Structure 1
Amino acid sequence: MTSFDQNARSHDADGPPAAPSTAALAEPGTPPALHAASDWLLESIGEGLFVLDAAWRLTYVNAAAERITATPRAEMVGRPVWDVFPTLAGSSVDAAWHATMEKRAQMELRSVPLPKRIGGPTAGWFDTRSYPVDDPAGAGAGGIVVLFTEVGRREREQRELAARSEENERLRELARAMAAVADSGPLLVALCEAAMALCHAQGATVAEIGETEGRFIASLGHPPEVLDHTFPLEGTLTGRLLEAFRARGEVSLLAVEASEAHDSAFCGQLSDGQPVGAILLAPLAAHGELLGVLAISRRATAPPFGRHDEELLRVVADHASLALWKARLVEAAHAASRTSSSFLATVSHELRTPLTALTGYGELLADEILGPLTSDQHDVVERMRGVTHQLTAMIEEILTFSSLEAGRELVRCIPVDVAEVVQSVVAVVEPLAKQKGLEFRVEVPPLPPPLTTDPDKVRQILVNLGANAVKFTDRGRVSLTVCADDGHVRLAVADTGVGIADADRPRLFRAFSQLDTGLTRRYGGTGLGLHISQRLAQLLGGEITVDSVVGEGSTFTLVLPTTPH
């Protein structure tokens, strides 16, 4: 680093201060000719330049700095900078210069105000850069050199407009992400990314709060071991924030330096190995409940967080609090749904055993193994068998639904003979169609397309679609057609039934949904068939599409890739 002599610009008791000289910036033994060249260079540049010693005294002021501040050098050199420019105390400039002086780090600020003269109004807006320099005598800590360049009003306004535009766009992106994401995991990652980008931070964490401990549930810019790390609340930053929230019910931010934190959870390193410096914490609270704490941090060589950073983080925290509250409600609903599905599965398993026995007894009676039956008795037995088959099918639907909800449904992909699968579907659906007097057509190409998938699930889907087609068709026909194109196999089940209105299509594949309660009473069913079929199709890498006209019929097409993804 460049060195300086803090006494090079001291006052002469009997006359004016000596002429400006870069001796203040020179290594001992530098030739006089080089001093002269440096003097000319620094006096000629358009940037203002200050040299401050370790005691914050101005030891050198160049001509541009004298002109910009409209303050004679004689009134500045040799005095503490805070006496010359008292309005700088506590400003972002103050913080940046202290970071350079104490941490020996180069700092840069854009568009900051500087005073016109001693105790005077603002001279204008400037970009400033500060650099550490060594004490040439090696007697202790060195000082700093400050360069500042004036920024015109138009350029400053353009910068501010661009910065506000970027901030607004990031906030809009955050709002969209918060609205779209229902899973708290991706939501928390998006939250950390937005907070870091908006506040120019290098690290971000979200901690959930327990009775006596906190746990990091999201982390960016910190070492991997931070995630899931637990820490005691007592005596930590998070604990202080929690106490303030419980005492006053207020959502207040907390800004500190890592050296003040006394909290190993925050005082470690960033993922790039740099130590943490400034920390800014914001509570995540909604409906009177503290959901967690969002913390952002900067490396030790960066300036502290300012008021604008606090305002931005507060907005981010407000968005995130509501989104996190919504995500928790969704997760609670999913947990309740899983509990309900588990209960349904348990009950269904318990019902399946006696139903299997009833089915067996019905077959014994129908085959007259237990003795001959009258015509009326045959009729009763057939009705009983029909009801038991219907109940068994409903129970199988519920068990499949429960398995899908729990993520236990497995896929077994093998090369499939499409014609064989279709024939097995025809064996189930065609008798149902004949019972209602419907024509049943099958169209399979002479050379069926190759297909690798789970044949049992394809069969289950097509039987569901075929049985539905028969159920909602009172006259006409039901057909099953197979074709292939663009790496996909299409198996279409068409009918001439009641059809589906466009407004009802969004509800078609919802669980436990019937388009009309009247249809439920008339046709029966759990409302799970289409939902299960679509979920199974998606497991196979495909989907079910619908074409329908009210009063003319519907076509449900199972579209599958010829090879699994």
Structure 2
Amino acid sequence: MDRDRFFALSPELLATTEPDDRFHELSPAWTRCLGWTLDELRARPWIEFVHPDDVAATRALRQADTQPVHFVNRYRHKDGSYRWLSWSGSRMVDGTSYAVARDITEAKRTEEALRESEERYRELFDNAKDLNYTHDFAGNFTAVNNAAERISGYSREEALQMNIAQIVPPEYLDAVLPWVLRAGAETTTATYELEIVAKDGRRVPLEVNSRVIFRAGVPVGVQGIARDLTEQKRIEAALQVQREQLREDVDVTAALARVGSEMITSLATPVVLERLCRLTTEVLPCDASHIYLWQPGEEAYVPMSGHGHTPEQWEAMRVMKFPLALIRPLHEQLEREELVQVRRADARGRRALAMFRPGGTNAIMFVALRRAGELIGVLSASYLSRDESFTPQQLRIARGIAQLGSFALENARLVEELERADSFRSDFVATMSHELRNPLTVIMGYNELLLDGTFGAVSDEQADILRRANKNALELLDLVNATLDLSRFESRQVPLNQEVVAIDTLLDEVGAEMQAVSRKKQLAVQWEVSSEPITLSTDPVKLRMVLKNLIGNAIKFTDEGQITV
């Protein structure tokens, strides 16, 4: 009974086995450890629970002559995993074995983690890319690692004969030496950045972490770990350039977006020119801006618009012309390039700026305005009082403004050509309509006189011919009048005489007028009119004409079927 109680209460894995390699007695701790019930453990040979890699060693130890035996192996958990067990056991003469085991799985894991950690530490230390060194309080090196040799260019033998003052530049040495002298007395660690001078003369930026070395509580030197910042500094510099470029791109885009949003609504050439000069001075920014357009007939550039000068200064400039013979070098350069910048401080700039002196100009850039690649003018931006160059960002913005300005000028030119063509067409239609209407009116008048018998009696056949001729002339007159009205509508020359109109009455009148036309083609016109009375404030004559034109077109282009209004 005491034996059973001992087995039941023991936290250890207690077991006895029979000669047939099966468990006989087991403590409940086995179930807690492996998940198997005690009956499941007894039902199979114990060797089936042993990890395959541990079977041979376990069998050999069980048969060993030396007793007791101590060993470690792995037992399979019910979930398929394995637990590490540490055994102590003895085999009796009759073949019965007594054993006690402890679950050392967690200890094994800790041991494995520690082993892996030590291996990683050794690997990191052996293959460290950072400089590791030590020196005494006088600054003499006492140890360096391979990375220190590689980065500094000095061999270990050379380095151990050197002092930190021989590789640290004076501007950094003044900051490092005081800490070295105070080390151990006031502070034991320090982090700082410095540069060293390599054997080949290169400067290598380093981030240094230093600590005081103590022996028996006494500070004896300094240990340092230094990281080569060369690549980091290069990346930081590249990122800084990239950030500045991105910031510039954003500024340029915003400036050109503003120019584009204002220029897109400009359709008249004078407005385009005025806005282009004003926006140039605002978004660059600069003191003044002008546009000079090329006049082929005069072989000269003529000022067309300006911003930034007083009215008196602009009047003095506006009457000037710049013949090609005077500015040929600038003209030829702009034919090849997009932009030319000159300053009064430059020898070649003084002559180029002489012609712009009415407003006082110290620095100016000229940007080409083009149409289909051909130079049509120049946009200028200038400083009146400052004698300095425009920045690369300003040059980018100026090029963009010139491109947008070229597009806007071309659009304005096309709109003006379209308006001229439309005006010519309207004039032609009006003239043609008047020229046709007068003879038609005369023809219809004579037809009426003939039908009335004013010139003598006419036969029925002749009267029928006259009526048909009169009808066709009337249709032609309606067409001429409609064409003339359309021309007037497009040119906004027809006033609207608005009044309150009952739609049902107007539709009845239009239906009656169009009935003869639809009957001629044997087409039915179906009217779908609201039963509710509807009134509109409109010009009834113009609305009637629009409806008649729409219905007439529907009848004209419908061969058979029905037309629904």
Q: Report the TM range for the smaller structure's normalisation.
A: 0.3 to 0.5
Scaled by the length of structure 2, the TM-score of the pair is: 0.46
TM-score, normalised via structure 1 length:
0.46
Larger RCO: 1 or 2 (CA < 8 Å, sep 6+) = 1
Report the structure number with the largest CA radius of gyration.
2
Greater per-residue helix proportion: 2
